[in-house]
Amino acid sequence: MARAAARSHFRRRRHGYLFVAPVLLFLAAVIVVPLGWAFWTSLHRIRGIRVSFVGLANYGQMLADDAFWHSLGVSLAFTGASVALHLGLGLALALLLNELRFARTALRIAFLTPWMVAPAVGATIWLWLLEPQFGVVNWLLQAAHVVSSPVAWLGEPATALASVIVVDVWRGVPFVMLLMLAGLQTIPAEQYEAAAMDGAGAWQRFRFVTWPNLRYLTVVATTLDIINTIRHYDIIGVMTGGGPAGGTEVLPVLLYNLAFRSNRFGEASATGVLLLVLVLAFAVVYVKLAKLDRAGGG
Amino acid sequence: MQVRPFLRMLASIAALGAASAFAQQPIVLQWQTANLTESQYEPIWKKTIAEFEAANPGIRVEPVLVARKDHWTKFVAASQAKKAPCIVSVDLTTAAYNGYLMPLDKYWNAEPASWRHAWSDDMLKASRWKGQLYGLPIWGGTYAEIYNRDLLTKAGLDPANPPKTIDEYMRWSKKLSGADHWATAVLGGRTDTTTRVLLTWIWANGGEAFNADMTEATFAKDPKSLAAIRMYLGMAREGLAAPAPTTTNYLEQTNLYAQGKIATMRNAYWAIAKVVGDNPAMKGKSVVGPIPANVPNAPTLATVTASSISSSCANPDAAWKFIKFDAEKKWAIERARVANWMPLRNDLADDPAIKADPLLEQFVRIGQNARSYPLPHPLWADIAANDIVDAVQKALLAPEKTEAIFRDLDTRLTKKLRDI
């Protein structure tokens, strides 16, 4: 009986399955197979082309390694600071652009430019801007008497981490700004008019009209931005390679260094799987929020 | 008309056409070395390829241009995918241990003895792993101390008598340093050049970084080694070396030297070509001296760059043909003359073209007492570019912890050296 019902269900939907099949196959080829391969690799000790099965030993080794925990700490610091600044500045710029009555399109394009530049290209430009001897940043700061001698921005762990955060903020703010601007433009003008009639000032309009309307979008943007930033490699890879002395070695950079500098593909894959678990945790939060949104209707 | 014979004829013509088209396809050999992107070498490799292809019409050589810092990474990734370029110059022991290279004994032994004698046994030793030959030494680089003649004269120092001891070098360094210029650059950037220079300091002070069979690291264990590390890295703290040492490498070092920001640099002959390329006004302004040492007969470091065939190469015969062509005297002299790379063939020492260049002759003389580099351990590429550099960076950032940092390095490296 149940089998007959299932058969009838499949027969009714077979065209749907047929249409979806190419996409499913494509996703399997570009996501499921590489992920499965990475997990399989993480269960092996790989030395060049010699491979031996070691089970979960690579995971044990990574979790017992100080370098992993150090990188996790750097990752969290980098992600926390970057996301906070993306959101703060993104929201401020969106509010500014939303209020503007002239040059809005030109400014929107101008603010979006960093997002359009390939991250590796942007990072290379910043690398030269921050160069201690010949860089423009030091030249400007010295001309303005902010610093008395050139600063080796990428030469110390603290300034190097701050520098890569600044570059990531430069690159990441436009995306958040765009999301927030879209959110701002969906707020009905009547709400502001009603608030104005009640005598609300600019701050009160923001607090009681704008913010409640943007709250859900902010949570979604935060979650998406965390997922995007925590797995970020290119800017740090190009600018510092994780140095100096591991000061900017976020998890993706550690993974890259393990795989391609130290030739330890098994340990690198284990790190990749652990990073994936971390990203998935945030993805679950995002999916739950999306469900809540659907249930709440707005 | 009968259909079957006609179809048969058509199929034969098609097969013939396909076969001849296939037969006309040249063999394509990819060639990857870290040096193809260096401007001073470009005219030579382009000429080498052109002449080789003209002499071997069935073979095409395709250069793979990879930045030095990505060279090893890309080679490893390609090797893992079994798609590595056929002809490569990489850290030979590490690559051979990992199975990325093909033994060349079959080709080497088939060559006439007269040709093989151009390479000394010592030179070939650096290209062997577990008794098998994995590369043909093509060029080398002896590390020496290179000085800017004008800056020495300006500081009241005699360019004809460069310092012989480390103490003397330190005295010179003080005279050569000022508010916006420094005696030298301490290298702490993330490539193995950092390790090369550190080793020259350790050896110059009579220390050792490893025991004889490379099963133990002795950076901190050997007091002379630790003292050398302290002296060298201390130059950054004392204002005798350019700022930002943790980001300084070959590129930054030669840039600083070319712009007159530093007066001396420890490097090989090729650095002079790079400096002149960066700033043509520097032509003829460099003088060379041996590495200042506190012990007699301290060896310097000489890199050996060998051409190898990757284990995934589909056309090793053609690849060997190119390696042999590239190793000819003519190209060795061209490389020395134009790119400042020292020839490793022992039948070139008296060549007039080599003797005509006094700087090159001096490098050859200094190189008579040199240890070959990379050091012969399968994990060397990882150790040299990561562990040692990491320790150097940490010590530069926290000089008071230098001993603890290098003790920790000794422990980690010793464990690593034994885990192969």
Of the spans A107-116, A195-204, B51-60, which averages the highest pLDDT? B51-60
Tell me what pLDDT residue A297 has.
45
Q: Is A194 a residue whose pLDDT tops 70?
A: yes
Q: Is B1 a residue whose pLDDT tops 60?
A: no
Tell me what pLDDT residue B23 has.
54
Long-range Cβ pairs for the range B363-369 (8 Å, 24+): B363/B142, B363/B144, B363/B268, B363/B269, B363/B288, B364/B142, B366/B142, B366/B144, B366/B288, B366/B290, B366/B291, B366/B300, B367/B140, B367/B142, B367/B300, B367/B302, B367/B342, B369/B297, B369/B298, B369/B299, B369/B300
Tell me what pLDDT residue A262 has.
83
Tokens of B172: 């010179």
Tokens of B289: 């001296």
Confidence at B343, pLDDT banded by 50, 70, 90: confident
Over residues B210-248, the pLDDT tens digits come to: 999 899 999 999 999 999 999 999 999 999 999 889 989
Average pLDDT over residues A237-254: 92
Tell me what pLDDT residue B352 has.
85
Please tell me if residue A144 touches chain B, with a CB cutoff of 8 Å.
no
Average pLDDT over residues B31-58: 92
Nearest C-alpha of chain A: how many angstroms from B182?
12
* Percent of the residues in chain B that have a pLDDT greater than 70, as a whole number: 94
Confidence at A289, pLDDT banded by 50, 70, 90: confident
Residue A264 CB-half CA count within 13 A: 21
Nearest C-alpha of chain B: how many angstroms from A157?
9
Which of B243, B247, B397 lies at the smallest CB-CB distance from A150? B243
Q: Is A178 a residue whose pLDDT tops 80?
A: yes
The mean pLDDT value of chain B amounts to 90
Nearest C-alpha of chain B: how many angstroms from A112?
30
Average pLDDT over residues A11-27: 88
Q: CA B226 to CA B220: how far, in whole Å?
A: 5
Confidence at B145, pLDDT banded by 50, 70, 90: very high
Over residues B266-280, the pLDDT tens digits come to: 999 889 988 998 999
pTM, 2 dp: 0.80
Average pLDDT over residues A136-146: 92
Q: CA B295 to CA B207: how far, in whole Å?
A: 10
Q: CA B372 to CA B336: how far, in whole Å?
A: 18
- Determine the distance from the C-alpha atom of residue B35 to the mean position of all C-alpha atoms in its chain, rounded to a whole number: 9
Which of B80, B255, B386 lies at the smallest CB-CB distance from A262? B386
Q: Is B337 a residue whose pLDDT tops 50?
A: yes
Residue type, B165: T
Q: Is B81 a residue whose pLDDT tops 90?
A: no
**Strand order of the sheet with strand B144-148?**
B264-267, B144-148, B286-289
Average pLDDT over residues B305-331: 96
Over residues A254-265, the pLDDT tens digits come to: 999 998 888 889
CB atoms B393 and A243 under 8 Å: yes
Nearest C-alpha of chain A: how many angstroms from B117?
33
Strands B300-309 and B136-142: antiparallel
A296: CB partners within 8 A, 6+ apart: none
Confidence at B193, pLDDT banded by 50, 70, 90: very high
Please tell me if residue A147 touches chain B, with a CB cutoff of 8 Å.
no
Tell me what pLDDT residue A181 has.
92
Q: Is B11 a residue whose pLDDT tops 80?
A: no
Strands B144-148 and B136-142: unpaired
CB atoms B73 and A260 under 8 Å: yes
Judged by DSSP in three states, B394 sits in helix
Q: CA A182 to CA A176: how far, in whole Å?
A: 10
Residue type, A1: M
A95-104, A201-210, B133-142, B291-300, range with the lowest pLDDT = A95-104
Tokens of B277: 């390329």
B75 contacts in chain A (CB < 8 Å): none
Tell me what pLDDT residue A298 has.
42
Which of A152, A262, A265 lies at the smallest CB-CB distance from B247? A152
The mean pLDDT value of chain A amounts to 89
Over residues A37-76, the pLDDT tens digits come to: 999 999 999 877 778 999 999 999 999 999 999 999 999 9
Please, which residues bridge with residue B241 across strands? Answer: B184
Q: CB-based burial of residue A53 (10 Å sphere; 0-12 exposed, 13-18 middle, 19+ buried)?
A: exposed
Average pLDDT over residues B15-33: 73
Q: Is B394 a residue whose pLDDT tops 90?
A: yes
Q: Is A293 a residue whose pLDDT tops 90?
A: no
Q: CA A290 to CA B397: how far, in whole Å?
A: 46
Tokens of A149: 């001698």
Question: Cα torsion for A224, A226, A232, A236, to the nearest 10°?
Answer: 140
Average pLDDT over residues A154-181: 94
- Determine the distance from the C-alpha atom of residue B87 to the mean position of all C-alpha atoms in its chain, rounded to a whole number: 16
A266-270, B12-16, B88-92, range with the lowest pLDDT = B12-16
Cβ(B250)–Cβ(B385) below 8 Å: no
Judged by DSSP in three states, B8 sits in helix
Chain B positions with Cβ closer than 8 Å to A: 69, 72-73, 76-77, 79-80, 94, 97-100, 188, 190, 242-247, 255-256, 261, 311, 381-382, 385-386, 389-390, 393-394, 396-397, 420
Q: At B158, phi and psi to the nearest 5?
A: -95, 110
Tell me what pLDDT residue A288 has.
82
B74-78, B349-353, B397-401, range with the lowest pLDDT = B349-353
> What's the Cα-to-Cα distance from A195 to each of A198, A209, B40, rounded to whole Å?
5, 8, 71
Q: CA B129 to CA B102: how far, in whole Å?
A: 11
